Structure 1
Amino acid sequence: MAKKDYYEILGISKNASQDEIKKAFRKLAHQHHPDKGGGNEEKFKEINEAYQVLSDTQKREQYDQFGTTFEGGAGAGGAHWQDFAQGGPFGGFRANVDFNDIGDLFGDMFGFGSARGRRGHKRKEGRDLEIDTAIEFMDAVRGVTKRITLEKLQECESCRGSGSEGKGGVKTCSTCGGAGVVEQAQRTFFGTFTSQSVCPACHGEGSVIEKPCSKCRGEGRALKEHAFEVTIPPGVAEGTTLRMEGKGEAGVRGAAAGNLFITVHVKPDSRFRREHDDVHSDASITLPQAVLGDSIRVPTVDGQVDVKIPAGTQSATVIRLKGKGIPHLESAGRGDHLLHITVAVPTRVNRKQRELYEALAKEEE
C-alpha cells in the first residue's frame, strides 16, 4: 500500500487549523473536480480522502498518532495494517463517509449541493454576453435611444423552449434514477468513501427527453438574430458598461437567461474635451479684446452663449461657466464648462497698425 501524507496532499502544515484545512480543500477540489475542464478524478478522490480524515478531529488524532504508512515494519510509534483489521488500536475501526455531508462546499463551486438538499444539477443557464456600441459626443451629453442587432441563442420557436419534439415529453433517467448524480465507492484504510459525480446520461438533470426537438436538438434554444433598443442615459462616459438583466443567451430548456453588458464608446468632438463631467474648450481673442475687454460668442453643449471677457485678460486664463457641463450620471446637477483663453498676437500688421503699436510702445517707455 503506497504511503499517503494527507497534509502534503492538501498542501498544509501539520499544525493547520480547521479553517486552513477547509480553505485548502475548497481550492484543490475546485481545481481538480472531474466535472471541470482539465479535472483529475483520481486526484480529486485523493483530496476528498485527505479532507475527510483531517477535518474530523478524532480521525485526525488517530492519523497523527499512527503516521502516514500502515504497511511493512511499523517502527517506533507505528502500527501494522493487520493490527487495524484484526481489532488492533481501533478495535476494527470502519468508516462509511457520505459526501452529501460536504455538499455545502460543492454547491457554491459546481452548481449542486447534497442529494438531500436537491437533486442533481441546475439546468444550464444562459451565458452573459458583452458587446460594444459607439455614440456621438452630444448623445453622451443628452442621452439617446439606440437600436442594436446581434445574433444570440434565444428560446427555440419550434418547441417553445421545451426541447421536445411535438407532444413528446421527458422521462426519468434510467442511469441515475432521477437523482442527477451517480455514486462511486472507494475503500481506504479509514473506511469506505462515497463520492458523487454528475450523471453522464442526463447531465445532472435527472430526466431525459424522449424525442428531442429537431431544430434545437433538445436544448430548447436556437441561434437567431435579435434586434432591440437600449436607452443610454445622459452623462454616460467613455467605457461605461450598461447591464441589461436577462438579455443575454437563453438558458437550456427554460433555465435563466444570462445578462447583456453593453460597453459604450464616445466619439470625440472637435469643439469639446471632457474631463469627468466638465467640458473644456478653447477661445482665441485679439490684443485689443484682451486689453479693453469684450463679449464673445462661444459654443457649449447647450448651444451658443455670450461670454464676457474682462479687461486685462491674460493668455491661458480659464473662464468657468457654472452648470454648463455634462449631466451627472448618478446624481442631480451638471459639471461646468471651462473656457481656455488664448490671446492671439498678430504675425503681420499694416502700416497704420504698426504706427499705433510704435506709439503705444513709446508711451510705455
Structure 2
Amino acid sequence: MLARVPTPALLVVLLVCVPLLVAAARDLYDVLGVSRHASERDIKSAYRKKARHIHPDKHPDRADEFMELTEAYQTLSDPELRSIYDRYGVDAAKKHQAKKDSGHQDPLDLFRQFFGGGGGQETTAKGPTKIYQASMPLADVYIGRSFTIEHERTVVCPACFGSGAHSSEHIHTCSHCQGRGVQIMRQQIMPGFVTNVQMQCPHCQGAGRTIAKLCGRCRGQRVLNDKTEIEVEVEAGAREGVEYVIEEMGDQSPDTDPGDVVVQVTSDTGPGDLRRLGHNLYTTETLSLREALLGFDRLFQHYDGHEVRLRRADVTQPGFVMRVEDEGMPIPVDEREMAGGRTHGDLFVEFLVVLPKLDAQNRAQLGDVLASPVTHTEL
C-alpha cells in the first residue's frame, strides 16, 4: 500500500499547528526564567520584572507573550497548582484551576495588583532598609578596593515557599471565620446595651486559614535565618560617606517585598595620614632652619607608591602652604564633569620650621650673621 502524500492544505495546517503545540508545551519555569526550585519570592520578582517590559499597552505585539507569562505566574505562585503542575503537567493544573469558582484571573487585573491601575507603580509593601556603616583607611579609598560584610537576614522558607505548611494539602480555610480572618462578636457594653464588634479571629490569628501539619523545616514560621556575604566595591576617590545600595537583599517575608541593604563608607585616618577635604588632600611637612633659609628638595611618597617632588629654592616662612596640582584624591568618573574634567584634586602641603638649640658659640656666630638688617620679601 502506497503512503498518502500530504496535500498542500494539510501542509498548511501542520505548519500552523506544530508551532502552537510546541509553544503550548513550553515549561512554565522557563517562561518566568526561574529554576524549578525557585522560591515564591523569586517567582513573584521574576514576574514583576518581565511584566513591566512586555505589557500590551506599550507592546501590543507582545500580548500573547504577556498572557503566557501571566498564566505561568498564576500557576506557579499557587502552591497547590504548582504541586499539581510539577507532578502531572500543565493540563492537569488547568483542569484543577477550572474547577475553582472563578477560573483564571484577568491578566491585566493581576498586573494592576502589582503595579497599580494608573501609573504603573508597585503597590506591594516593601520591607525595611538595613543600614551598615563601614570605615576603611584613607589609603584604600584613594586606591579603591572591595570588602565583604557578613549579612544576617531572614529568607522565605524554601521547603514550604513561605506557607508554613508541610504541603498545600495541609492548608485549610478557617471554619470559624470562613477565611475572612475576622469574626463579629456580640459584646455587652452595659445592661441593656449590646453591640457587634469586629475582632481578629482567635482561631487563625487573622490569617483566614489553619495549618493541619506544619512545615518540618521552618516549623510554621514561614521564614528562616540566613547568613550571606555582601561584597562592596569602593571606587577610587569615593566621596566621604558614600552610600552603596544593594537592592532587595534585606529581610524576606511571604507578605512583603525584600527591603534594601545600604552600606555607608567613611574614611579612617590615623597618625601621619593625610587629611581630606572634598577631592583635596592636606598634609604637614617639617623643615630644618637650613632648609627654610636655603631651600629644599625632597620626595613625598603617595598612597599608591608614586613619589611627589616637593622643591623650593626661596626662603620658606613657617606656615607657608604649597599647592601641588593633581596630587589629591582621584575624582570618580561620574563627578568629573562637575569638576571641569579633572581627574584628581590637589595636594596642599603646610610647612613648619623646627629651630635648632644654640650654644654660646653658635649664638655669637648667628648674631654676626644677623647684625645687618634683613629685608623680608615674603610672608
Does structure 1 conserve the Cα–Cα contact (< 8 Å) formed by 2:299 and 2:309? yes
Does structure 1 conserve the Cα–Cα contact (< 8 Å) formed by 2:127 and 2:256? yes
One-letter code aligned to 1:286? S
Shift of 1:179: 4.7
Shift of 1:264: 2.7
- The DSSP-based 3-state class of the residue aligned with 1:148 is strand
CA–CA separation in structure 2 for the residues paired with 1:174 and 1:310? 94
Q: Which residue of 1 aligns with 2:70?
A: none
Judged with a 3 Å threshold, the aligned counterparts in structure 2 of structure 1 residues 310 and 183 are, in CA distance, closer, same or farther, namely: farther
The one-character-per-residue Cα deviations of 1:151-190 (angstroms, maximum 9, x if unpaired) are: 321232443444321454544444554455667899xxxx
One-letter code aligned to 2:303? V
Please tell me whether residue 321 in structure 1 is matched to residue 331 in structure 2: no
Shift of 1:276: 2.6
One-letter code aligned to 2:284? D
* Percent of residue pairs bearing the same amino acid type: 24
Please tell me whether residue 358 in structure 1 is matched to residue 367 in structure 2: yes
One-letter code aligned to 2:370? A
CA–CA separation in structure 2 for the residues paired with 1:304 and 1:257? 48
Write the mapping of 1:268-347 to structure 2, written as runs, cut at 5 A.
268-269=269-270, 270-302=272-304, 303-328=306-331, 331-332=335-336, 333-347=343-357
The one-character-per-residue Cα deviations of 1:299-347 (angstroms, maximum 9, x if unpaired) are: 3334321022241221111111222222345512333211111122212
Count residues with an aligned counterpart: 239
Q: Which residue of 2 aligns with 1:216?
A: 218
Shift of 1:295: 2.2
Judged with a 3 Å threshold, the aligned counterparts in structure 2 of structure 1 residues 177 and 348 are, in CA distance, closer, same or farther, namely: farther
CA RMSD in angstroms, aligned pairs only: 3.8
One-letter code aligned to 1:343? V
Does structure 2 conserve the Cα–Cα contact (< 8 Å) formed by 1:323 and 1:335? yes
Q: Which residue of 1 aligns with 2:37?
A: none
One-letter code aligned to 2:335? S
Does structure 2 conserve the Cα–Cα contact (< 8 Å) formed by 1:170 and 1:210? yes
Please tell me whether residue 141 in structure 1 is matched to residue 142 in structure 2: yes
CA–CA separation in structure 2 for the residues paired with 1:179 and 1:151? 35
Does structure 2 conserve the Cα–Cα contact (< 8 Å) formed by 1:155 and 1:161? yes
CA–CA separation in structure 1 for the residues paired with 2:181 and 2:328? 58
Judged with a 3 Å threshold, the aligned counterparts in structure 2 of structure 1 residues 224 and 278 are, in CA distance, closer, same or farther, namely: same
Q: Which residue of 1 aligns with 2:233?
A: 231
Does structure 1 conserve the Cα–Cα contact (< 8 Å) formed by 2:232 and 2:244? no
One-letter code aligned to 1:264? V
CA–CA separation in structure 1 for the residues paired with 2:198 and 2:280? 58
Structure 1 unpaired stretches of 5+: 1-111, 113-121, 187-192
CA–CA separation in structure 2 for the residues paired with 1:231 and 1:197? 50
Taking structure 2 as the reference length, the TM-score comes to 0.52
Shift of 1:290: 2.6
Shift of 1:123: 8.6
Write the mapping of 1:193-204 to structure 2, written as runs, cut at 5 A.
none
CA–CA separation in structure 2 for the residues paired with 1:271 and 1:291? 27
Judged with a 3 Å threshold, the aligned counterparts in structure 2 of structure 1 residues 280 and 179 are, in CA distance, closer, same or farther, namely: same
CA–CA separation in structure 2 for the residues paired with 1:255 and 1:345? 69
CA–CA separation in structure 2 for the residues paired with 1:250 and 1:358? 80
Write the mapping of 1:76-225 to structure 2, written as runs, cut at 5 A.
126-166=127-167, 168=169, 170-179=171-180, 206-225=208-227
CA–CA separation in structure 2 for the residues paired with 1:282 and 1:145? 29
Does structure 2 conserve the Cα–Cα contact (< 8 Å) formed by 1:162 and 1:254? no
Judged with a 3 Å threshold, the aligned counterparts in structure 2 of structure 1 residues 211 and 127 are, in CA distance, closer, same or farther, namely: farther
Shift of 1:138: 1.3
Shift of 1:363: 3.4
Does structure 1 conserve the Cα–Cα contact (< 8 Å) formed by 2:300 and 2:307? yes
Judged with a 3 Å threshold, the aligned counterparts in structure 2 of structure 1 residues 134 and 301 are, in CA distance, closer, same or farther, namely: same
One-letter code aligned to 1:230? V
Does structure 2 conserve the Cα–Cα contact (< 8 Å) formed by 1:245 and 1:258? yes
The one-character-per-residue Cα deviations of 1:266-297 (angstroms, maximum 9, x if unpaired) are: 32132211223321111112333333333221
Shift of 1:229: 1.7
Judged with a 3 Å threshold, the aligned counterparts in structure 2 of structure 1 residues 165 and 123 are, in CA distance, closer, same or farther, namely: farther
Judged with a 3 Å threshold, the aligned counterparts in structure 2 of structure 1 residues 164 and 176 are, in CA distance, closer, same or farther, namely: same
Judged with a 3 Å threshold, the aligned counterparts in structure 2 of structure 1 residues 313 and 358 are, in CA distance, closer, same or farther, namely: same
- The DSSP-based 3-state class of the residue aligned with 2:371 is helix
